[in-house]
Structure 1
Amino acid sequence: MTQILNAKPVVQAMKENLQQEVAALKAEGINPTLGIIRVGSRPDDVYYENSIIKNCDNLGIATKTYPLDLNISMEEFTKVMTGVNNDSTVHGIMLFRPLPKQLDEEVIKHLISADKDIDCMNPLNLAKVFEGDMSGLLPCTPAACMETLSHYGYNLSGANVVVMGRSLVVGKPLAMMLLKENATVTMCHSKTKDMAGIAKKADIIIAAMGRAKMIDDKYVSENTVVIDVGINDAGDGKMCGDVDYDAVVNKVSAITPVPGGVGSITTAILMKNCLRAARKKHW
C-alpha cells in the first residue's frame, strides 16, 4: 500500500525543535526577528506573508514587515534593503519574488546580506551549498525535500535519485545536498532523452519541472518514492503538482501530496534559517 508522505508530522517535529531553539536564544537575551519585504500587494504574497507571521508568532519569533509600493524605484528599494541589512535587531530577511520589472533582481541578490538571506538568494549562500558546506543558510525548497526524506527514514546513501529540473532555486542545489548524503544523482531536464525510462529505474524521483501533472505512471515503478515539488494551477481552480497524483498514487511505494506536501514544509525551513542566522550573529 502506498505511503502518503504528508507534511503535517514533519512540520510538527520541526516546530518542537524550533521552539526549543527559540527558548534557548531568548534565555541568552536574543530575540530572533524576521524581516519581511513585500513589493506590491499580490494576493498570494499577502496570504503567504500572513501565514509566515502566524507561524512566527506561534514559535515566539518576532516579525517586522516592510510593505513597499509596487512602483518603488530601484534607488528607494536599495535604501530600504540597506536599512534592513543594517538593522541589528533583524536576523533574517525574507524578500517576496518575483519583483516588478523596474527592480533588478541580479543586483538585489548581491545586495541582500548573505548573513540574513534566509531564502538563499545571495550567490554566496548558494556557493557554500555547491562546495558541500551545509552549515549555512540553505535554499528552502531543497531543504524541505531533504527534511521530508529524513523524517520518513529514507537512507540516501547509495540511493539512485533522479532530480527532474535544473533550476538554481531547486534542482541544482538539491542535487548537491543529495550528493552530500552520498546519493547517486541523475539530473533530468527538458532536453533529456527518454526521461521516463531513466526515472522508472530510480529509487527516488524528485519532480521540479514546473509543469502541471507532467509525471504519470510511465515514469514510476512500484518501488519508487516520489517527492513532488511542483505547485501549479490545475486549470479548475485547484492546485496540483508536477506529478499526476491520481495516475501515480497507487503505483508507487510512497508519494508527497500537493497541497500538503513539500510546499507546507518550506515555511518551517524559513524559520529554521532565521534562527540559524540569529545564532550565527551572536556566536
Structure 2
Amino acid sequence: MIPAVHRVVSWETDLSPIVPPPGVPTHDTRLIYISTLSLPHASNASTCVGGQLPVSAARKEWLAGFCIAASFKRETGICRYHCTRSLVHPFPLAGTLPALKPSAKPPTAAHSSAAMTDAAAPAGVKLNASTIAEPFSLAVREYIEQEMGGAGPKLVGLLAHGDPAAKKYAEWTGKACARDGIRYELREVPKDELLEALEQANHDPEVHGILVYYPCFGPFPSFFGGTMDDFLRDSISIKKDVEGLCQFYRGNLYRNIRYVDDEHTQKCVLPCTPLAIVKILEHIGVYDKTKPDGDHLAGVNITVINRSDIVGRPLAAMLANDGADVYSADIDSLYLFRRGKLIPSEETQETACKKSRVIITGVPVKSYKLPLEWVSENTVVINVASFKNVDEAELLKIKGVQYVPLVGKVTVAMLERNLLRLYENFHWKPKKVWQ
C-alpha cells in the first residue's frame, strides 16, 4: 500500500550542535528535531528538547502550534518544557525522551503567551506548502528507486486550452515527475481531438495514468447529457483516472466507500487538490488522530468557499466524512455538509466563517477578497484559487492565524501517490507492498 507520511520532520531544522551548559552531563543531552517557522517577533530558542535539556537560543524562531508550558532559565540555559503536541520527531542522542502527548485541540493564544515569557505572542504565520509536499514526494522517489529499479509508471497529461493556471500545473507536474522517477508525457491537442486522444491513452497498455487539465469546454453541453467536461471525466478508465474524478470514484467518495474491492485490499483514489488540503490540515494538526477513523475532525467547523465539482464539492464531502461540519458556500447559497447529508444552512457566509476553525477559499475571481472581519483568531486559512483571495498582509496581523497561500505542490505530490495507487491496484503487484 501507499506509504503513510504522518508529518513533516523538518520545516526549517536547526541542526547545529547543542553544547550542554556547565553542570549538565554530556550523556544527558537529548535532542528533538522539530518543524520551525521563521517569525519576526520570536526571541527564544528554536531548538526545543524534552525534559531538563540544553537549548540553543541563537536562532529567532518559534514553532507555531507547538504548545509548551514551563520556564526557560537564561542563567543556566536549561529548558523545562512539557510538550503537548506530537508535531516533532524524537531523535535521542542518549537515553529516551519523555513521551509526547498529542493534543486534541490546537494551541490557544493563552498557551503561547504563557510559554513566551520574554517575547510578544506572534501574529499570523504563512506556511510554505513546498515543505509539506516534500516528504510525500520523497517517499514516492525512494519507492520507485528501491522497489521498481527507477522505472516508474507512465502518466499522460492532456491539455486542450491555454489557461495559465493549467499550464502552470502541467509545468509543476512535469518537473516533479522527472525528479521522482515517473515517466510523464504532456500531449497538447485541439479541443475537437481531445476525446480521441483520451481514448487512445485509455487503450494504451504503456500508459498507467491519465490527467486532463480542466476546464476544457466549460459549460458547453454534451450530446450524452451534462457538460462535455463531465463526459470527459466519466470517459477515463477507472484503472487510469489519476484524479479520481470519474463517476466510479466520485460515487464512492460521496458514499464514503474507501476501497475499490470488497476485500478492502485496493484503496480508492481521491481528487488531488482536496486530498492535498486534507494532508495540509493533518500537518497543521487540525486532524485529531487520537479519535477513531472517521471522527478525526469531529467537532471542527470548516467553511469552503467554492462548490465546484473539481475542488469544493468533493473537498466538503471528504471533510464531512472525517467528522467535520462543513459549510459549503458559492455565489448564491450556503449548505451544510455532514457525513452523508447535504442540508440548507441558516447561517450566512459571515457567521459560518466566524465560527470556523478552518476557512478554505477557492474563488476564481481576481477581485474577490475574504472579508477579514470574518476571520477569528487561531483560524487556518487556505487559498486554493489561482488568485489571492485574501489580503495577506492584513490577514497575518490576526493573532494565531495560519495561512497557506498556495497548495499546488502538495497537489502534485498527491497526484504522484494516486498514480502509484492505480499502478499497484491494476497494473503491477509489487513484492513488497507499501505500509
| Correspondence 1:39 to 2:160 | yes
**Judging changes above 3 Å, is the alpha-carbon distance between structure 1 residues 62 and 208 closer, same or farther for their aligned structure 2 residues?**
same
**Distance (whole Å) between structure 1 residues aligned to residue 377 and residue 270 of structure 2:** 32
| Correspondence 1:58 to 2:184 | no
Q: For 1:107-143, what per-residue CA distance to the aligned partner results, in whole angstroms no more than 9, with x for missing partners? A: 2222111221112331222111111134312111111
What secondary structure, in the 3-state scheme, does the structure 1 residue paired with 2:237 have? coil
**Distance (whole Å) between structure 2 residues aligned to residue 25 and residue 62 of structure 1:** 16
Please state how far the C-alpha of 1:267 moved relative to its aligned partner. 1.3
Partner of residue 207, structure 2 = 90
Partner AA of 2:239 in structure 1: D
What secondary structure, in the 3-state scheme, does the structure 1 residue paired with 2:148 have? helix
**Judging changes above 3 Å, is the alpha-carbon distance between structure 1 residues 219 and 42 closer, same or farther for their aligned structure 2 residues?**
closer
Work out which of the residue numbers 116, 127, 131 in structure 1 matches 2:255: 131
**Distance (whole Å) between structure 2 residues aligned to residue 42 and residue 154 of structure 1:** 33
Partner AA of 2:361 in structure 1: A
Work out which of the residue numbers 254, 264, 268 in structure 1 matches 2:413: 268
**Judging changes above 3 Å, is the alpha-carbon distance between structure 1 residues 147 and 210 closer, same or farther for their aligned structure 2 residues?**
same
Work out which of the residue numbers 401, 424, 435 in structure 2 matches 1:279: 424
Q: For 1:199-243, what per-residue CA distance to the aligned partner results, in whole angstroms no more than 9, with x for missing partners? A: 1111111222334442121111112111222222xxxxxxxx222
Aligned-pair identity in percent equals 26
Partner of residue 29, structure 2 = none
**Distance (whole Å) between structure 2 residues aligned to residue 66 and residue 218 of structure 1:** 45
Q: For 1:156-187, what per-residue CA distance to the aligned partner results, in whole angstroms no more than 9, with x for missing partners? A: 33212122222221222111211222222222
Work out which of the residue numbers 291, 299, 312 in structure 2 matches 1:171: 312
**Distance (whole Å) between structure 1 residues aligned to residue 135 and residue 275 of structure 2:** 15
**Distance (whole Å) between structure 2 residues aligned to residue 15 and residue 165 of structure 1:** 27
* 1:111-150 superposed matches below 5 A: 111-134=235-258, 135-150=267-282
| Correspondence 1:80 to 2:197 | yes
**Distance (whole Å) between structure 1 residues aligned to residue 162 and residue 380 of structure 2:** 38
Partner AA of 1:225 in structure 2: V
Partner AA of 2:358 in structure 1: I
Given that 1:22 and 1:275 are in contact with CA atoms closer than 8 Å, whether structure 2 keeps it comes out as no
| Correspondence 1:230 to 2:230 | no
Partner AA of 1:208 in structure 2: G
Partner AA of 1:220 in structure 2: V
**Distance (whole Å) between structure 2 residues aligned to residue 165 and residue 252 of structure 1:** 25
What TM-score results when the alignment is normalised by the length of structure 2?
0.57
Higher relative contact order (CA 8 A, sep 6+): 1
**Distance (whole Å) between structure 2 residues aligned to residue 97 and residue 178 of structure 1:** 23
What secondary structure, in the 3-state scheme, does the structure 2 residue paired with 1:177 have? helix
**Distance (whole Å) between structure 1 residues aligned to residue 422 and residue 330 of structure 2:** 33
What secondary structure, in the 3-state scheme, does the structure 2 residue paired with 1:108 have? helix
**Length, aligned pairs only:** 268
**Distance (whole Å) between structure 1 residues aligned to residue 318 and residue 414 of structure 2:** 15
What TM-score results when the alignment is normalised by the length of structure 1?
0.84
What secondary structure, in the 3-state scheme, does the structure 2 residue paired with 1:116 have? coil
**Distance (whole Å) between structure 2 residues aligned to residue 42 and residue 215 of structure 1:** 24
Given that 1:228 and 1:255 are in contact with CA atoms closer than 8 Å, whether structure 2 keeps it comes out as no
Given that 1:159 and 1:184 are in contact with CA atoms closer than 8 Å, whether structure 2 keeps it comes out as yes
**Distance (whole Å) between structure 2 residues aligned to residue 46 and residue 3 of structure 1:** 29
**Distance (whole Å) between structure 1 residues aligned to residue 305 and residue 206 of structure 2:** 39
**Distance (whole Å) between structure 2 residues aligned to residue 278 and residue 84 of structure 1:** 15
| Correspondence 1:187 to 2:311 | no
Given that 2:172 and 2:409 are in contact with CA atoms closer than 8 Å, whether structure 1 keeps it comes out as no
**Judging changes above 3 Å, is the alpha-carbon distance between structure 1 residues 207 and 102 closer, same or farther for their aligned structure 2 residues?**
closer
| Correspondence 1:20 to 2:165 | no
Please state how far the C-alpha of 1:30 moved relative to its aligned partner. 6.8
Please state how far the C-alpha of 1:149 moved relative to its aligned partner. 0.7
Given that 1:5 and 1:254 are in contact with CA atoms closer than 8 Å, whether structure 2 keeps it comes out as no
What secondary structure, in the 3-state scheme, does the structure 2 residue paired with 1:205 have? strand
What secondary structure, in the 3-state scheme, does the structure 1 residue paired with 2:245 have? coil
Partner AA of 2:301 in structure 1: N
**Judging changes above 3 Å, is the alpha-carbon distance between structure 1 residues 189 and 106 closer, same or farther for their aligned structure 2 residues?**
closer
Work out which of the residue numbers 351, 370, 390 in structure 2 matches 1:215: 370
What secondary structure, in the 3-state scheme, does the structure 2 residue paired with 1:174 have? helix
Partner AA of 1:79 in structure 2: E
For structure 1, the residue ranges without an aligned partner over 5 or more in a row are 233-240
Partner of residue 108, structure 1 = 232
What secondary structure, in the 3-state scheme, does the structure 2 residue paired with 1:251 have? coil
**Judging changes above 3 Å, is the alpha-carbon distance between structure 1 residues 106 and 201 closer, same or farther for their aligned structure 2 residues?**
closer
**Distance (whole Å) between structure 2 residues aligned to residue 41 and residue 185 of structure 1:** 33
Please state how far the C-alpha of 1:263 moved relative to its aligned partner. 2.5
Please state how far the C-alpha of 1:99 moved relative to its aligned partner. 1.8
For structure 2, the residue ranges without an aligned partner over 5 or more in a row are 1-121, 223-227, 259-266, 288-296, 335-346, 430-435
Please state how far the C-alpha of 1:194 moved relative to its aligned partner. 2.9
What secondary structure, in the 3-state scheme, does the structure 2 residue paired with 1:256 have? strand
